[in-house]
Amino acid sequence: MSSSKKSPGSELNPRTTSYEFLGPPGALFVTLTVPIVIYALYFGCSEANGCRPDLSTIPDQVVASVTNPNWWKSLWDTEAFLMYLAWYAFCVVAWAVLPGDRVEGTTLRTGEKKTYKINGFATLLLALGLACGTIYRYGPQSFTFFYENWVGFVTASIVMSVAQALFCYAMSFQEGKLLALGGNSGNFIYDFFIGRELNPSIGSLDLKSFNELRPGLILWALIDISMMCEQATRRGGVDKVTDSMWLVLAFQLWYIADALFNETAIFTTMDITTDGFGFMLAVGDLAWVPFTYSLQARYLAFKHVELGPVWTATIVIVNLTGYWIFRAANGEKNDFRNGKNPKNLKFFTTASGSKLLTSGWWGLSRHPNYLGDLIMAVAWSLPTGFDTPITYFYVTYFAVLLIHRQLRDDEKCHKKYGKDWETYQKLVPFRIIPYVY
Ligand SMILES: NC(=O)C1=CN([C@@H]2O[C@H](COP(=O)(O)OP(=O)(O)OC[C@H]3O[C@@H](n4cnc5c(N)ncnc54)[C@H](OP(=O)(O)O)[C@@H]3O)[C@@H](O)[C@H]2O)C=CC1
Ligand SMILES: CC(C)=CCC[C@@H](C)[C@H]1CC=C2C3=C(CC[C@@]21C)[C@@]1(C)CC[C@H](O)C(C)(C)[C@@H]1CC3
């Protein structure tokens, strides 16, 4: 920490009195549902069923697997678990040894600022370099292990998420910890899910930002590459990979590289400023992102969709439009929160002293960045064609997540800015999509 002003006591760590996610039952529901959905997307969208599961047989299949006392053994793979641990260790070692600037985050309730090491992009380049080197030297068939051992890797990442969430929950009871305002209800299920401590760390390694940007996000890139290799192996070479697979790979790698290139922009997001690090973020970062966001690439590994130039160009335009809105909006807010206003945008000064942009992208809606992200989500699913709705799961889930997130953020800002937030809502009436929502 860069300066010490107040040490966290009960006045800085008040009890959480209002619940989100419908309280402990909702938190328990999401805790159990997220791992189930990750497995269900794998079994429901498989090569065997062509990603068109026969819904009438699902109840019988579920009963048959759950009544088999050894069902859990089919989810466990020691080799995949060890490989996953090696991957996680690689990310930690890369963070420790690769050079990177030390950058301060936003000001915490204590008046302090945390310092973060910025070398996520270098870690991505190293991981991509090693993966591409392996594929170049030994061929695409040497990099298909994620496709072949999918379930084992999913289980490994879920075990890691549970372990980290439990560890952080236990450590949050140590003296002097700054807690998340929303994660200190006293109810284990709820606080474990939301995250009790705001910024848990081991030494100078901040677990929340590390997990959000490195082991899960970079793994997503490697999984996509592995899916491309699976398709290349089946089709007889990387030069035979379909245009649809190249599009998904290019769009998602670009998104991941963008997040890591703009690593410091994460410090003004809700996850870092507001949420604790609990099971929600741990499983979201480590399991959900790599194994559900790569669904389109996994589908294309076994279903070889050819788009042709017109569809390809159309989808590229959709993705570029989304990316332009997403990057410009996040850039405007991030610059502004770091005391810069290069476009001379209009703003509104609240009684708290904090300012809110009212022109540029942030004058069009209260979350223009969500709109750009959603448009990109559509562009990532379109290359899979229209044979199955399951590859559009990401678009549907993401729309629900962003609408819910917007509601949570509105509530947070209302608490923070009071009447000024209502004035701001009148100045910028649309929530996400200008003139629509
Ligand atoms: N791919 C994925 O799965 C996901 C991607 N995302 C992306 O992450 C990015 C960050 O999202 P998120 O953290 O939810 O939200 P935002 O980046 O929109 O941050 C919200 C915060 O910005 C500040 N703010 C709100 N309005 C203004 C304004 N007019 N001017 C200046 N500051 C303002 C407020 O904080 P304060 O005033 O306190 O500074 C508010 O709490 C988005 O691009 C989103 O699309 C998010 C979730 C999942
Ligand atoms: C279902 C479930 C458990 C959901 C938890 C939500 C998480 C999956 C998402 C919460 C916020 C996220 C962000 C990104 C990935 C998804 C999660 C972790 C993000 C890292 C993706 C890349 C972007 O450029 C980003 C850095 C802006 C973004 C930050 C928020």
Regarding the beta carbon of 333 and ligand 1, being less than 6 Å apart is answered: yes
CB of 81 closer than 6 angstroms to any ligand 1 atom: no
Note the pLDDT of residue 295. Answer: 97
Angle at 360 between CA 325 and CA 250, to 5 degrees: 15
- Residue list, ligand 2 pocket, CB within 6 Å: 34, 212, 217, 259, 266, 269, 271, 280, 283-285, 288-289
CA distance 157 to 317: 34
In ligand 2, the atom with minimum distance to the C-alpha of 285 is 18
From the CB of residue 188, how many other CB atoms can be counted at a distance below 10 Å?
12
Q: Ligand 1 pocket test: pick from 208, 286, 367 the residue with the most ligand atoms within 8 Å of its Cβ.
A: 367
pLDDT for residue 3: 43
Q: Summarize pLDDT for 402-434 with one digit per residue, the tens.
A: 999 999 899 989 988 999 999 999 999 999 999
pLDDT value at position 73? 81
> Band of the pLDDT at 10, cuts 50, 70, 90?
low
Asked if the model's pLDDT at residue 7 lies above 90, the reply is no
% of the chain surpassing 70 pLDDT: 98
Q: Is the pLDDT of residue 4 over 70?
A: no
Distance 270 CA to ligand 1 centre (A): 6
Q: d(Cα 133, Cα 80) in Å, to the nearest integer?
A: 21
Encoded tokens for 104:
């301060």
Which ligand ends up closest to the CA of 395?
1
Looking at residue 9, its pLDDT comes to: 57
Apex 227 CA angle, 64 and 312, nearest 5: 120
Q: What is the pLDDT of residue 436?
A: 87
Where along the chain do its domains lie? 20-58+75-306, 308-437
pLDDT tens column, 329-360: 999 998 898 888 889 999 989 988 889 999 99
Cα angle, residue 260 at apex, residues 256 and 265 outer, rounded to 5°:
115
Ligand of minimum distance to the alpha carbon of 365: 1
Q: In b/e form, how buried is each residue of 299-325, taking b as 16+ CB within 10 angstroms?
A: bbbbbebebeeebbeebeebbeebbeb
Beta bridge partners of 179: 197
Atom of ligand 2 nearest to the CA of 281: 5
Q: What is the pLDDT of residues 26-84, one digit of tens each?
A: 999 999 999 999 999 999 999 999 999 887 777 777 777 777 777 778 899 999 999 99
Spell out the residues 6+ positions from residue 345 whose beta carbon is closer than 8 angstroms to its own: 332, 336, 357, 358, 359, 360, 362, 363
Which stretch of 185-189, 252-256, 269-273 has the lowest confidence by average pLDDT?
Answer: 269-273
71 φ, ψ (degrees, to nearest 5): -60, -35
CB 114 within 8 A of CB 207: no
Task: For residue range 258-290, list pLDDT tens digits in order.
Answer: 999 999 989 988 899 989 999 999 999 999 999
pLDDT at 55 (0 to 100)? 79
Counting ligands in written order, the one closest to the CA of 338 is 1
The Cα 289–Cα 53 span in angstroms is 23
User: Considering the entire predicted model, what is its pTM?
Assistant: 0.93
Q: Which atom of ligand 1 is nearest to the CA of 269?
A: 13
Can you give the pLDDT at residue 53?
85
